[in-house]
């Protein structure tokens, strides 16, 4: 997708996204644990935002966290924005797409080296481009 294809209104987002994608990306929802299609994805490629197509994660940064969602130890440069999330009686760091501000998931400080980060991301917020 190009920048011009990023919807300008919530009405346009509703027309563009599937129901589950809209609930996660635009309403900060979460898919059920172990239900996402990319939990066990291990092919080489790039994970992109399902909302706007921006490159978010390289498959080389994906790791098995056994948490129920795809996990990555690093994001593409300037691809992610961070926001404080105090919902559900917790304080967490939400991660959103820097291009379209779609909710992706959260980042935690219990990941592997070299970053120590665990980007816990909803599969429905992602699209995967396999490297050929």
| Tens digits of residue pLDDT in 60-118 | 999 999 999 999 999 999 999 999 999 989 999 999 999 999 999 999 999 999 999 99
3-state DSSP call for residue 87?
helix
Please say if 120 is a catalytic residue.
Answer: yes
Looking at the 3D structure of the chain, how many domains does it have?
1
CA–CA separation, 51 and 44 (whole Å): 21
Chain centre distance of CA 27:
13
Q: What is the pLDDT of residue 5?
A: 76
Return the CATH number at 42.
Answer: 2.170.150.20
- Of the residues 49, 97, 100, 120, only one is catalytic, namely 120
- Asked if residue 97 has a cis previous peptide bond (ω within 30° of 0), the answer is no
- What is the residue range of 72's domain? 3-130
Percent with pLDDT over 70 in the chain:
96
């Amino acid at each position: 997708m190009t920048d011009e294809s990023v919807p300008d209104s919530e009405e346009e987002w509703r027309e563009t996204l599937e129901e589950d994608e809209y609930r996660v990306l635009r309403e900060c929802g979460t898919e059920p644990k172990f239900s996402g299609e990319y939990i066990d994805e291990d092919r080489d490629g790039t994970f992109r935002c399902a909302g706007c197509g921006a490159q978010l994660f390289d498959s080389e940064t994906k790791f098995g966290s056994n948490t129920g969602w795809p996990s990555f130890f690093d994001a593409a440069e300037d691809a992610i924005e961070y926001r404080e999330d105090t919902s559900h009686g917790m304080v967490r760091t939400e991660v959103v797409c820097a291009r379209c501000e779609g909710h992706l998931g959260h980042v935690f400080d219990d990941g592997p080296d070299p970053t120590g980060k665990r980007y816990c991301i909803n599969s429905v917020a992602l699209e995967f481009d396999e490297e050929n």
